[in-house]
Structure 1
């Protein structure tokens, strides 16, 4: 952790939906020999435990990963004591597929980019744009990839690709977005329903086509195994549509034209751009977003800077005034 590497003590608060994993981490930290008080853990609801941490005068820095709405509240609370903050928040990341790409690789990475971890990834590439000349081929291959790879079921089964959603509230939210998409006139290419006999929070991997850029399923973060696939004709058009969002966390570009890849990566408003991959992160590379996807960076040299303060010390070696 960058905070520890820079000599800080830390207090970790897990999301109330996942309180046990942080305690497992605590046992590992103790086993590793960290002195008491260096790494501390607090569990509880965000509106109580989280709010107390953010507002406490002895907390110098707050790093948060979660929703944009919660991050906004953290900014307000942190302003009272002028705390340093790092925020990694929501996303509606675009994935651009040009007709000169390796389409088989584009299919595999596009599927992984949205359906892995049940779609519960802030950087999930949940808006796929495919150049018109290969659009129908892409749809056919993408649906086949889901049928071949996306086995939904018990998360402890090694053959499972997609387990349950994290909570019933999130499960219900995703299903409500699927209903919204249908009511707005989008077409379900595949999926669109709960998976199985109703036991467990399982949702079929869902693909929407015939999606207008104004639709909620296109614009709002769903945080589940739901993706929209749209066609485009020109590079200018797709960059404009990709940027037409309040978010700016990640983006992917699939092309064999390296000049185009760099050109589009520069034009896309995102903190991270993958070329011919998705979710392909490295701890040495800065991670973070722009616009309503966050403030500051984790990982890499920029991540270390986020947990340090620059101090100037001036020493007079005997010069008289």
Structure 2
């Protein structure tokens, strides 16, 4: 169909449709309301079902029900709404149900603002709800990358029977770019023989449940989940390296901020500073390998975020004390500018010559 000019929220929705998602349960909240509106119009056109729930809590429990039946299902929200979904997300994890959850982040805490932010990193990558669990988290930087990562999100969810989070921000949701929807070859995924699709001819009734009152049984289930997370960490890491081959300093950024950082990096290189970038695409599992490969060669790292400093903790763990890890962040919906990042790079490089 060629390239079409679309808004980010609508790209997320259309990409989900192309990934064969037929069920959406959600509730409008700025800055992702266009996603909900798009799904309301689009899903009936492909034989799917859209339902606007009475609340975010209701929406995530509807996702639980649809996922139990083995269908591809998703929900979306923005920061306060995703907070309301946390109990349901933990239930999805406990019941090993695949689903995709989109968070178009906004400034906080509390109601905060409707401006872009990255301050939900801890919530997404450290579990968010109750219990020992992790969720794969994918963070696109462009609208075209959303198309690819949305397909990946549904495939990962089905492959490992887990919820998957797609993390954007208000800027990514509201910007417009040309995108192309190219049909991908289907991948081989496990049969959903656990799904509650009826008892005729499929071996009897299925039970989907996260309640395990026997502590030994619950511990075995937790051990099973941890083995699953180990496999995800081994097989589902995604990242981009940009101008790192000769870099003496490395900027670390994801999502929208990484786009701004690339311009700052190019400006610094024009001034003779050898700087590159590591861009985590999977926020969990966090890409440790590019840091292991570079931490004995470079002089420093600079983590840039739209937060008070959350991903910087994972960067420090990956660098493991080999080199200094600096941080620059803006909060409350403020976006780091190219000049701000450039000045920070120059400051660090000048102090470590």
TM-score when normalising by structure 2: 0.29
Higher relative contact order (CA 8 A, sep 6+): 1
Largest Rg, 1 or 2: 1
TM-score when normalising by structure 1: 0.31
